[in-house]
Structure 1
Amino acid sequence: MRAFHLTSLQHTTKIKVDEYGFERPPDFDYISYEDFMSEYLKVLAKRAKKWSDLLGNGRSIMKNRLAKRYIRKGIPCEHRGKVWLAVSGAEALKSDYEANLFQSLLDGPVNQDIVEIIRTDLPRTFPDNIYFNTTDEHQQKLFRVLLAYAHHNPRIGYCQGLNYIAGLLLLVTHCEDTSFWLLKVLVENKLPDYYSPTMDGVITDIEVLSELVKEKMPDVHRHILALGLPWAVIATKWFICLFAEVLPTETVLRIWDCLFYEGSKIIFRVGLTLVGRHKSEILKCDDFSSVAELFKEITQDSFALHCHDFMQSVFRIPGTLKRTRIESLREQISAERKRKNEMQNQQKER
C-alpha cells in the first residue's frame, strides 16, 4: 500500500496508482485508505500553510529547533527537493565543486563495465511504477544519475540499492542534478560505508540494531535468536534501500525528511518502532518462517500506511536514543569484527 499527497485531492476510489506512479496491488484496501486520507489531508493542509509562511519570499531554511520540528512533521512534496538540499548540506557541498559538475561527468569518458552493470539493474528498478515500467524516459534519467555518481566516486562506483534511492529521488525532485547531489550527500555523509565494496557500514548497523533491540526489548531479542532468524535477513533491505520498496512511499519520504536533516539515527528509530509496535505478534511466532513472514507483513499494514501516526510513534516508541550510544556500538562492533578477521588471517597463515 502506498500513499497520496496533498496535491492529490481528487477522490481516490479505485485509482490504481498513487501520486508517485506506484501501482496498487489487487487487494489494496481502498476503504481503510480513504479513512486515513480523510484525516491526513487535514494535517497536510495545515502543514502546507506553515511551510509556505516559513519559506515565503524565497527564503532558505536554516537548521534550528523550529526547522527540526517542522521536518519531523513532514515536508510538503513541492518543497522537498529544495529543503533536502539545504538541510542535508548538499547545497553547500555543491558550491565547493566546479559549476555543472553533473553534466561534465556525463560528457567525460565512461567505464563500459559500469555502464553494463547499471543498464542491467534499470529494468529491475521499481517495476511496479508506471514512470519506470512504461517509458524509457525515467530509466534514462536514472541511468545518467547513477553513471555520473559512479564516475565521480570510483571507490564506490555503482552498488545495488543505489538504483532504488536515486530512482525515488528522481520521482520526488524531478531533477537529475538535484538527485545527483542528494545521492552524493547520502552515500558519503549520511551513510558512511553503506555502499562501499564490503558494505561494512550496513553490516555494522544491522548489528547495532540487534544490540539496541537487546537493550530495549530483551525478550524479543531472545525470541528471535532462539528461532534462528538472523537480523541480516530482517533488516538488510531496510538499511540498503532506506526503506524504499519496504514501507509505503509517503512513509518512506517522511523518514527521508528526517534522514536528510538528522542523519542515520532515524533508521534505527524506524527499525525499533517496527519491532516495538509488533512485539506481541513477534513473540507469538513459533518458527523461523512465521517470524520472517510477519516482518514482511508489518511493513505494509495500516500502521505503516498511516505515515503521520507512524512518524509520531518513531519518536515515542524507541524512547531515548542517543547518537553517542550508536557511535559507541559502531566502534565496538567494528573493533570486534576487525579482531576476528585478524585471528582468522593468523590461523590461515599457520
Structure 2
Amino acid sequence: MQPPALLERWNDHYRSEESFLTDRFGFIYDRNHRPIPPPPESRAMLLEIDGQDAADAGAARRDEPQSIGLLSGSPLSSLRLPVIGAVSRATASAADGREPDRFWQTYRSDSVESLVERPARSGSLVSVRALLNQVGDTHESVQRTQKTRWDEFIKKLNADAVEAGLPVIETGELFGVYGRVLTSRQSASKSRWRDFKALVMGGIPIVYRSRIWGECCGAYTLKTPGVYQELVRADGDAESMAQIELDLNRTMPSNVFFGGKGPGVQKLRCVLKAFSVHNPEIGYCQGMNMIAATLLLTHATEEDAFWTFVSLLENILPSGYFDPPLLTSRADQKVLKQLLYEIQPKLCEHLDDLSVDIEAITFNWFLSCFTDCLPPEILFRVWDVFLCVEGQIYLFRVALALFRLNTKALMALTSAGEVYGYMKDLSSQPLTIESVIRISDSLAQQVELKDVMARRAEEIKYLEDEMAF
C-alpha cells in the first residue's frame, strides 16, 4: 500500500466504494460541501536564488503550484489544492454585471488554459470531483516539470563523478547530493550546491522527496537493517503507549490514510512505539504524532519514515526539544518573541494591547514542525528547505514569515479571541507557497543560527533558575 502522496489518484486506490472526495494527499473534501471564495488575485513573484537571473526564476516558478483553499469545515482544516496561475475573477464579475454568487478560476496545464466555472452554492459532487481531478492533473504536470529539472541535476552530478573518477548514481540509488554537494568544499561543488539549493527552494518532486529528505537529514546513515523490526516487537513503556493510543484517533482524522481504520493508523502506531523504545528518555510527546504522520504520507515504507523521524528529532531539532519539561521548546518561544518584537514592533504592540500571548500561538507550530497549521502542499515545501538546506533555524524564519504575511489581517482584529481564532485557522487563510518561501528566505540575514543559539542558551538558563525556586 503506497502512501497518499505517491498515488496519482488516491480515490482510485483506497475506500473508493465509500465515494470519498479527496485531494492529492488523501484529505477528504468537506463533508458539508461548502465552498469558500477564492483568495485574492495571485501575483507572479520573482525570487532570486544564489544569483539566478530574476526573469529566469520567475519563468521557472510559473510551473510551480500555489496552494488554494477551496473548502471549509473539515475536522483537520480546509482542503488545500495546488493550482497554477490562480486568478480571482471577482472584480471582473462585478464589472461585467455577472452574478456575484459565482466565481471562476483559471488552471494552466502545460500551455493549455481551461476555464472552470462552478456555482458557489452548488452541491454537485460530480462537479467537485471533476474539479479535483483537473487540479490533480495540474499537480501531476507540475511534478513532471520538477522531476525533469532534478533529473538534469543528477546528470550533472554524474558528469562530475566521471570526471573525478567516482561511481555514477544509478537509477534507484541514493542521489549522492550529501557526499558530493553538501560536504565538499571544492569550488565545483559550491556551484552544484547553489544549483541544489535553487532546486530545493523550487520544490522536490514527490517521487524523489523521501529519498532526498532521508539522505540530507542523515536518516540513511542511521538506518540499520533489522533494528526497526526489533523495536516494533519490543515491549513499549506503558505510559507512552497509552498516550500514543489516545493520539492515534486524533491524528489527521480527515485523511483517509489515517481516519477511521485507514492503513496508516497501524503504521503510525508502530513508528511512534518504535521511537519510544529507541529513545526512552523522550518516549512519546504530543506533536510527534503529526510529524510521524506527515512522514508516512511521503514515504513508501514505515521503516524509512521511522529513520527520518529519528533523524529529525535527534539531529535536526536542537537537543532536548521533546525532553520533559520541554525547556528547549519553551526557550525557543521566548527567542521567537524577541525576534518578532525586533522585526515587527508595531504588530507586537498591537498584540500586547489585545493581551495576546504569542507563545500560546507558536508553541505548537514548533513542536509539530508546522504540521498543525500549514496545508500539506506548503508544509512539504517548507520541509524541503527545513530538512535539506537550513535545518532548525528555518522554524524561526517560517514562523516570522507567517506573522508578516498575516500582519494586515492581524492588525484589523480587535480582540484576543479573534487573534487566536484566526491563527488557529491559519491553514484556511490565502497563503501561497511562493510567499512563504520568499519571505522566509528574505529573513536569513536577520535571523541567524549563531544568534538564536546564544539567545536560546540564555533563556534555558533563566527557565532552569526559575524551576530551582
TM-score range, shorter chain: 0.7 to 0.9
The TM-score normalised by the length of structure 1 is 0.86
* TM-fit CA distance, 1:284: 2.5
Q: State percent identity of aligned pairs.
A: 26
User: As a proportion of its length, which structure holds more strand?
Assistant: 2
1:77 aligns with 2:84: no
Whether contact under 8 Å (1:102, 1:177) holds in the other structure is yes
Whether contact under 8 Å (1:208, 1:329) holds in the other structure is yes
The TM-score normalised by the length of structure 2 is 0.65
Whether contact under 8 Å (2:217, 2:387) holds in the other structure is yes
* TM-fit CA distance, 1:29: 4.6
Whether contact under 8 Å (2:231, 2:278) holds in the other structure is yes
Whether contact under 8 Å (1:208, 1:333) holds in the other structure is yes
What amino acid sits opposite 1:287 in the alignment? S
Ranges in structure 2 where 5+ consecutive residues have no aligned partner: 11-18, 40-67, 69-82, 87-106, 110-137, 156-169, 183-192
Whether contact under 8 Å (1:273, 1:318) holds in the other structure is no
Q: Which moved more, 1:15-24 or 1:233-242?
A: 15-24
Q: 1:5 to 1:50 in 2, by over 3 A?
A: farther
1:229 aligns with 2:356: yes
1:284 aligns with 2:354: no
1:19 aligns with 2:24: yes
1:323 aligns with 2:449: yes
CA RMSD of aligned residues (A): 2.7
Determine the structure 1 residue equivalent to 2:159.
none
Which residues in structure 2 correspond to 1:150-299 (within 5 Å)? 150-192=276-318, 193-261=320-388, 262-299=390-427
Q: Which moved more, 1:315-324 or 1:198-207?
A: 315-324
Determine the structure 2 residue equivalent to 1:348.
none
What amino acid sits opposite 1:54 in the alignment? F
Q: Which moved more, 1:137-146 or 1:116-125?
A: 116-125
Question: Is the partner of 1:24 in helix, strand or coil?
Answer: coil
* TM-fit CA distance, 1:203: 0.8
Whether contact under 8 Å (2:237, 2:276) holds in the other structure is no
CA distance in 2, matches of 1:308, 1:16: 27
Q: Which moved more, 1:188-197 or 1:59-68?
A: 59-68
Question: Is the partner of 2:289 in helix, strand or coil?
Answer: helix
Question: Is the partner of 1:302 in helix, strand or coil?
Answer: coil
Whether contact under 8 Å (2:249, 2:260) holds in the other structure is no
Q: 1:277 to 1:318 in 2, by over 3 A?
A: farther
Q: What are the superposed Cα offsets for residues 93-128 of structure 1, whole Å, 9 maximum, x if unpaired?
A: 23xxx5321011123333344333222221111111
CA distance in 2, matches of 1:108, 1:15: 37
CA distance in 2, matches of 1:276, 1:331: 26
1:49 aligns with 2:148: yes
* TM-fit CA distance, 1:317: 6.0
Larger radius of gyration: 2
Q: 1:296 to 1:111 in 2, by over 3 A?
A: closer
What amino acid sits opposite 2:177 in the alignment? I
What amino acid sits opposite 1:289 in the alignment? G
CA distance in 2, matches of 1:265, 1:69: 18
Q: 1:21 to 1:30 in 2, by over 3 A?
A: farther
What amino acid sits opposite 1:20 in the alignment? F
Whether contact under 8 Å (2:321, 2:329) holds in the other structure is yes
Q: 1:227 to 1:136 in 2, by over 3 A?
A: same
Match of 2:263 among 124, 137, 152: 137
Q: What are the superposed Cα offsets for residues 184-225 of structure 1, whole Å, 9 maximum, x if unpaired?
A: 111111122221121122211111111110111111112212
1:301 aligns with 2:400: no
* TM-fit CA distance, 1:154: 0.1
Q: What are the superposed Cα offsets for residues 113-153 of structure 1, whole Å, 9 maximum, x if unpaired?
A: 43332222211111110111243421111111111110000
CA distance in 1, matches of 2:288, 2:296: 12
What amino acid sits opposite 1:133 in the alignment? G
1:93 aligns with 2:222: yes
Whether contact under 8 Å (2:6, 2:207) holds in the other structure is no
* TM-fit CA distance, 1:90: 1.5
Whether contact under 8 Å (2:291, 2:371) holds in the other structure is yes
Q: What are the superposed Cα offsets for residues 153-191 of structure 1, whole Å, 9 maximum, x if unpaired?
A: 000111111111111101111211111111111111112
Q: What are the superposed Cα offsets for residues 305-343 of structure 1, whole Å, 9 maximum, x if unpaired?
A: x3234322321367632111211211221122223333x
CA distance in 2, matches of 1:195, 1:48: 35
Question: Is the partner of 1:38 in helix, strand or coil?
Answer: strand
Whether contact under 8 Å (1:166, 1:183) holds in the other structure is yes
Ranges in structure 1 where 5+ consecutive residues have no aligned partner: 346-350
Q: What are the superposed Cα offsets for residues 205-262 of structure 1, whole Å, 9 maximum, x if unpaired?
A: 1111111101111111122122111112211221111111311101011111111122
Q: 1:286 to 1:112 in 2, by over 3 A?
A: closer
Q: 1:282 to 1:341 in 2, by over 3 A?
A: same
Q: Which moved more, 1:218-227 or 1:247-256?
A: 218-227
Whether contact under 8 Å (2:251, 2:293) holds in the other structure is yes
Pick 1 or 2: higher relative contact order, CA cutoff 8 A, min separation 6: 1
Match of 2:176 among 60, 68, 73: 60
CA distance in 1, matches of 2:462, 2:260: 48
What amino acid sits opposite 2:335 in the alignment? V
User: As a proportion of its length, which structure holds more helix?
Assistant: 1
Equivalent pairs, count = 332
Q: 1:113 to 1:282 in 2, by over 3 A?
A: closer
